[in-house]
């Protein structure tokens, strides 16, 4: 009877040592590092972008405000075009704004999109137990996060119509929620992009 109990205890200890553990504090550190490492960028339009100078729509307001905050430059373009008005074709002068990223020595000084902050973990609402898929263990965390290092320009009322920016401004009070995953590779836990088991 005694050897059987020892065998059961040994098998149990092997099982326990084989399944890794991760606490909420360690998971929080890994998730927060991953969120902070990714710049959040707003990409409403491909650049360069042309828009009629007389346009007063939402896109025109966004572009004008981005230029006011020195995130874009604009130049006036005047051209002759054939247009149809009242069933008649005639030549007309069209005036447009051409918006683009700032240039330095003929090259862009910024990547595509407009940086507005980075993510920061607010809460882990749920943290699963580790589960095995293939060769690796994973945990799933359901988190709340908000935008930190928020840039002043997104507080401009011109961007009230941009849902992503509007939600980002209020994200500390009303945090975003999503599911993220951590993977154990046999040595340590790390943030995992995508779904468990995917390469």
Instruction: Identify whether the C-beta of residue 102 lies closer than 8 Å to the C-beta of residue 109.
Output: yes
Q: What is the pLDDT of residue 126?
A: 97
More confident residue, 1 or 198: 198
Q: What is the pLDDT of residue 14?
A: 40
Q: What is the pLDDT of residue 81?
A: 76
More confident residue, 48 or 10: 48
Give yes or no for residue 112 having a pLDDT over 90.
no
Q: What is the pLDDT of residue 110?
A: 64
Of the pLDDT bands very low, low, confident and very high (cuts 50, 70, 90), residue 20 is very high
pTM of the predicted model, to two decimals? Answer: 0.78
Q: What is the pLDDT of residue 91?
A: 81
Measured CA to CA in angstroms, residue 58 lies from 95, 142, 176, 180 at distances of: 18, 35, 25, 34
Give yes or no for residue 31 having a pLDDT over 90.
yes
Q: Label residues 7-28 b or e (16+ Cβ within 10 Å = b).
A: eeeeeeeeeeeeeeebeeeebb
Of the pLDDT bands very low, low, confident and very high (cuts 50, 70, 90), residue 21 is very high
What are the sequence ranges of the domains in the chain? Answer: 20-42+113-192, 49-108
Give yes or no for residue 80 having a pLDDT over 60.
yes
Q: What is the pLDDT of residue 15?
A: 43
**pLDDT, tens digit, for every residue of 129-173?**
999 999 999 999 999 999 999 999 999 999 999 999 999 999 999
Give yes or no for residue 44 having a pLDDT over 60.
yes
* Average pLDDT of span 102-119: 79
Give yes or no for residue 69 having a pLDDT over 60.
yes
**pLDDT, tens digit, for every residue of 92-107?**
788 899 999 997 655 6
Q: What is the pLDDT of residue 108?
A: 62
């Amino acid at each position: 009877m005694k050897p059987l109990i020892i065998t059961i205890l040994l098998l149990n200890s092997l099982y326990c040592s084989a399944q890794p553990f991760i606490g909420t504090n360690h998971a929080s550190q890994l998730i927060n590092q991953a969120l902070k490492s990714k710049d959040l960028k707003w990409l409403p339009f491909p650049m360069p972008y042309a828009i009629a100078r007389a346009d007063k729509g939402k896109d025109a307001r966004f572009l004008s405000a981005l230029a006011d905050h020195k995130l874009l430059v604009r130049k006036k373009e005047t051209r002759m075009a054939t247009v149809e008005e009242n069933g008649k074709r005639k030549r007309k002068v069209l005036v447009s704004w051409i918006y683009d990223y700032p240039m330095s020595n003929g090259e862009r000084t910024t990547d595509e999109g407009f940086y507005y902050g980075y993510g920061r973990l607010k809460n882990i609402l749920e943290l699963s137990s580790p589960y095995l898929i293939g060769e690796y263990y994973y945990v799933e965390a359901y988190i709340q996060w908000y935008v930190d290092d928020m840039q002043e320009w997104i507080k401009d009322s011109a961007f009230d119509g941009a849902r992503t920016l509007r939600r980002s401004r209020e994200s500390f009070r009303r945090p975003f929620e999503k599911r993220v995953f951590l993977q154990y590779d046999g040595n340590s836990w790390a943030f995992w992009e995508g779904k468990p088991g995917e390469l």
